[in-house]
Amino acid sequence: MGTSDCGHICGESSPGVGEAGRTGEWRTSRPVVDNRKCTPARKGVPMCFLCWLYCPEAVIAKTVPPRVDMEYCKGCGICAEVCPSHAIDMVEEAGFVP
């Protein structure tokens, strides 16, 4: 039938990273964190992480500083919108080398 039959009669999958494919390819702009403004980055302490909390795709890691997984980040801009320190800018994807 054009696919290697995975034996399902309805849409079924196991949860896993990248289940929807390389959604990073959908981006037209990407979040860039300014570590001089980002609170956990400045203080060197795990804290805030509102960007992690609000990211609908769970592609931000609660590291110091927070790290965005560009393989899957869709560039929705919610993290930039919610950051209380305005530490995140959405920058045109065209400016970055693939």
Partner 1 sequence: MLDGNAAAAEAAKLCRVQVIAAYPITPQSPVTEILSEFVEKGDLNAEYVTVESEHSALAVCCSASMVGARTFTASSSHGLAYMHEMLHWVAGTRLPVVLACVNRAIGAPWNVLNDQQDSISQRDTGWIQIYARNNQEILDSVVQAYKIAEMVYLPVMVCYDGYVLSHTEMPVDTPSQAVVDRFLPPYKPHTVLDPGNPKNYNLVTLANPRVNAEGVLCHGYMELRYLLQEALQNSAQAIASVGAEFRELFGRDYTGLLWQDRLGEAEVAIVAMGSLAMEARVAADSLRRSGLKVGVLGLRVFRPFPKSEVAQAVGHCRLVMVFDRDISYGSEGAISLEIKSALYRRRAAPVVRNFIVGLGGRDVKAREMTEAVTKSLASLKKGTPDSGHPEWICEI
User: CB under 8 Å to 47, separation ≥6 — which residues?
Assistant: 39, 40
Residue 52 CB, nearest approach to partner 1 (Å) = 21
Judged by CB under 8 A, how many residues of this single chain contact partner 1?
20
Between 19 and 92, CB nearer to partner 1 = 19
Residues in contact with partner 1, shown as a per-residue x/- string from 6 to 45 under the rule CB under 8 A: x-xxxxxxxxxxxxxx------------------------
Count of positions (residues) in the chain: 98
For 14, 21, 45, 54, the CA distances from 5, given in Å and listed in that order, are 15, 19, 48, 36
SS3 1: coil
Residue among 20 and 53 whose Cβ is closer to partner 1: 20
The site for partner 1 (CB under 8 A) is made up of 1-6, 8-21
